[in-house]
Structure formats: structure tokens, C-alpha cells
Amino acid sequence: MPSIAIGIAFHSRSQPLVNAVKSALEQGVAGHNVYVVVLDSSKSGCAYRLLHRFREEPRMLILKGCARSAYAARNKLLRHAEARWKDLTWHVRLDADDSFVSKVALSSALHSAKPKHRVILAGNRQIAPNGRLVGRNLPTPQMLDRGQLLARIARMAEGDFKAELPSCNLILKAGFKWKYPARKSAEDHWLVAHILLSSRPEWVGIRRLELVNYRLGGALTTANKKSAHYSLQRQALLEAAVGWGTYDR
């Protein structure tokens, strides 16, 4: 059967990695083998100890590797999955402090995938550190409209949290040499924005459903917000997006 890889980048034991892995292993997609790959970039290399209960799980793989940035870790996961599973069909990203909303979340997101789809963009439930539901971030067909997408990126650059792109819910078709850009912050927003602005509408599947529980206030995000990179990268994204051509891929 074809394979699907759920890639999880782990960099700090402050992340509730066990919950993320448990929810990933619960995912099933008809006609596919679903694998979970954890890249452990933590200084203590503690992922193996934290995941001791899953050591005999044949669908899980723990990699130890140095990745000093989020974009480097995500790119390593993409490369490893394509090299390991030649029948790979989809890359699924899951942050180590997030989890799927249900056991059928991934199956629901891929249920209506069409042969022409190169990417699937779904939504998330925004969860506060205390577990409270803050809001929902669902993609809309309007995100495929250049003018409306640029207006949303402009609001995001101004610090409007509600305008943030649902970038943690991106599912990528294998075989297209995807690569997160070398950005210290918002690398996922850069990739999603470029895909939306340079893809034909029939290449993108918009799924107005909740795929993951997105935890607000993660360690890396909090650190970035305290630095100038957080706002500068979003402003730089807006400047770059205006100049991106259509249908580059």
C-alpha cells in the first residue's frame, strides 16, 4: 500500500511530545500505511526515553539529528521520508506540542483529495496553555485569490493574530521537492504563502475542517515573539509575496 509520513520535529523536552505521537499513531487512512517520524534535535536527546511506551511500534521511527532551526528540521523530515518510503504519497506535518483533533482527522482531510492536488490545506483549533479553546483558524477558498491573500498577509504583518495563515495544517504531496525557506521565524507562513500564490487553483485542496489542536504559546514561538524576527519576517514576507509570480511551479 502507498505510505503517508507524519513528521514531528522535536527540539525541547518542554514540548508534550508524547501526546503528539499518540495522536499521530491513532491516525488511519484507508488504503495507506501511516508512519510517524520524530526528529530529535533536543540537546539531551530525550525523545527516545520519553517515547519508551512506543518503542515496539513498527510504524514509528525516531531519528537523532542536529537541526538548529525549525526550517532545517522540517526539511530533514521531508528528505528522510521520501528516501525511506519510495511509495510515499503525502507528507503531514505535526508540531511536537500539537495533536490531531480526532482519530479520523487526517482521514477526513484526505478524503476528497483529487489526483491533481499537490497540497491540502486544512484548519486548526487554537488552544491556550490552560487548555481553553481560543478560536478556530480555517482556510477559505478566498485564500486562492491573489488580492485577498495579499491583504491577509498585510494584516498579519501588522500583528493581527486572526490573520495568521493556517500554516501548521499543510499536507504536501510527495515528489515535488518541497523545501521550507531558510527563515528564523515564520518559515511555514513563507512556504504556504508561496504555494498559494504560485499554484494553479486545481492544485490546492481547501478543507474547511479542523485537523490539529494548535497550542498557542509554544517555547519557540514565544521566543520569536520576544525578538525582532517575529515581526520583521512577516513584514519581509509581505514584501516578497507582492513580487511572486503566478504558477511558478
Predicted pLDDT of residue 66: 73
Predicted pLDDT of residue 218: 52
Predicted TM-score (pTM) of the model is 0.91
pLDDT greater than 50 at residue 102: yes
Q: Are 233 and 184 spatial neighbours (Cβ–Cβ below 8 Å)?
A: yes
Residue 249 lies in a domain: no
User: Residue 183: which of 66, 19, 70 has the closest Cα?
Assistant: 70
Residue 214 lies in a domain: yes
Domain count across the chain: 1
pLDDT greater than 50 at residue 171: yes
153-166 pLDDT per residue, tens: 999 999 888 899 99
d(CA 209, CA 211): 6
184-233 pLDDT per residue, tens: 888 999 999 999 999 999 999 999 999 999 998 754 444 445 456 677 88
**b/e per residue, 36-64, with b = 16+ CB within 10 A?**
bbbbbbbeeeebeebbeebeeeeebebbe
H or E element in which residue 205 lies: strand 204-215
Q: Are 203 and 116 spatial neighbours (Cβ–Cβ below 8 Å)?
A: yes
Residue 248 lies in a domain: no
Question: Which residue range is the domain that position 182 belongs to?
Answer: 3-243
Q: Are 229 and 185 spatial neighbours (Cβ–Cβ below 8 Å)?
A: yes
Predicted pLDDT of residue 247: 52
Residue 14 lies in a domain: yes
Predicted pLDDT of residue 224: 45
65-80 pLDDT per residue, tens: 777 788 999 999 999 9
Residue 7 is part of a domain; what is its CATH number? 3.90.550.10
CA 190 to each of CA 21, 85, 162, 224: distance values in angstroms, whole numbers, following the listed order: 26, 27, 17, 15
Helix (H, G, I), strand (E, B) or coil at 229: helix
Residue 58 lies in a domain: yes
Residue 221 lies in a domain: yes
